[in-house]
Amino acid sequence: MKPGGKILLSPDLTPRSKATIPRQLRAWIKTLWQRHKRVPVVNRPIQGLGATIDFGWTIGPLGHGVYYRPSNQSLYLERSFTVEIFDVDPDLVEQVARGLRQAFSQEAVAVIDYGTNIPTMLHS
């Protein structure tokens, strides 16, 4: 059996410091939509991978996540959730993580490879 892995990400759009009011409003609406519809938003990129093997995944509940950026000493408090993928190679977990990062408009997502238990951040 292959190890699989876990992906941690947020459905909340990353705030832009110089965003106009209409852009902030659109981001807020998209964030609410992504929080509510996260299951189909997760399923779409995974099913679109064109994988040739059988594998399964679970989508965890929303929880409170914290992200720290040392460059400007900022602490971000936002909702987050996990996607666990079973019985796949680490390359497929990373491919799924990149698709989810793009689908949820995130700058980065955290990935844990169950084979090594080493967390990494995937950035854009």
pLDDT one-digit tens code per residue, 67-95: 787 888 888 788 899 999 998 999 999 99
pLDDT beyond 90 at 115: yes
Structure tokens, 19: 């965003």
**Which residue from 69, 45, 61 is spatially nearest to 8, judged by alpha carbons?**
61
For residue 18, the model assigns a pLDDT of: 64
Q: How far apart are alpha carbons 115 and 6 in whole angstroms? A: 11
Contacts of 67 (CB under 8 A, 6+ apart): 10, 75, 76, 78
DSSP for residue 58: E
Q: How far apart are alpha carbons 122 and 77 in whole angstroms? A: 19
Distance between alpha carbon 104 and the CA centroid of its chain, in Å? 7
Q: Quick: pLDDT tens for 22-51.
A: 888 888 888 888 888 888 889 888 888 877
Burial of 86 by CB count in 10 Å (0-12 exposed, 13-18 middle, 19+ buried)? Answer: middle
pLDDT beyond 60 at 17: no
Which domains are delineated in the chain? Answer: 5-123 (3.30.70)
